[in-house]
Amino acid sequence: MSKTKIITPDVRRVIDFPLKVGESPTWDDRTGDLWLVDILAPAAICLRADGRVDRFDMPVKIGCLALCESGDIAVALETGVHIMNPKTGTMKLLCNPDGGRPDSRLNDGKVGPDGCFWVGTRDEAIPQTGNARLYRVMPDGTFAIITDGLLTSNGLAWSPDGRTMYHSDSSGLFAQVFDFDPEKGVTGPPRRLRDFTPEEGRPDGAAMDADGFYWIAGVLSGGVNRLSPDGEVIEIYKVPAKSPTMPCFGGPDLGTIYVTTLSNDNNGTFEQGTVFAFEAGIQGTPVHRFAI
């Protein structure tokens, strides 16, 4: 087993306003815009290519967002999956897969190679009881439960060939993989990829690079872990924040890594959530779009 390489990249901050819980950074390769959410604000935020910042305040907590083929934005709220017009901010309900279950809300989500919106939930009970799920939401608003018994569904990403889906349970401190068919979705039970150590952090949001390596934020570790397809942590990219939440690849060549963070106390110093960017000489894969 090779020794994990610790890398401290040249990091820059890309916003000048604070986030409570920054999450779900998503690069729009058609427009050059960077979208993200602030779960607790709650808001969807778009950093436009021309430097403008558009903020869409939400009525309830927002877990994540995804790009649609139509140019609309899918937003996962406590009240369900809504489709938002990014010009007007108007929203219409597509479905509510979680059905208002107690101690539960939609959390991390991404669109897969199948054109469906895969979105998981977080068990909000204290202590957690294992009520979290992962849903597959179809473009027509129908949905299916893919797996349950989780604590915090997170870390969705797909291999470049679309044949493997990666997924984590942040509170369970593990990542797993599913065999995936780009038309049918998952085709079998999950396999454990890795159990994370405290030094590697709580496995949160994730992204995939063009070489098939899985990038997953380590909350409380101050780093983003780069895993090989067999689950080995090859590199850890350190950022100047205790709790990075999710990376994504952006920029004209998908060579810029954007990382959201959350507000928390770092050894007695309060840190505001923000968005960082750095280059690592590695290209990402384009995100898939919801077939709406």
204 is catalytic: yes
Contacts of 69 (CB under 8 A, 6+ apart): 115, 289, 290, 291, 292
The catalytically annotated residue of 33, 108, 204, 209 is 204
CA gap 279, 256 in Å, rounded? 5
**Residue 287, φ and ψ in degrees, nearest 5:** -75, 150
* DSSP-based three-state secondary structure for 199: helix
Query: Which strand ranges, in their side-by-side order, compose the sheet holding 73-77?
Result: 62-67, 73-77, 80-84, 91-95
* DSSP-based three-state secondary structure for 20: coil
Contacts of 151 (CB under 8 A, 6+ apart): 122, 123, 128, 130, 132, 169, 170, 171, 172
Q: Which residues are catalytic?
A: 204
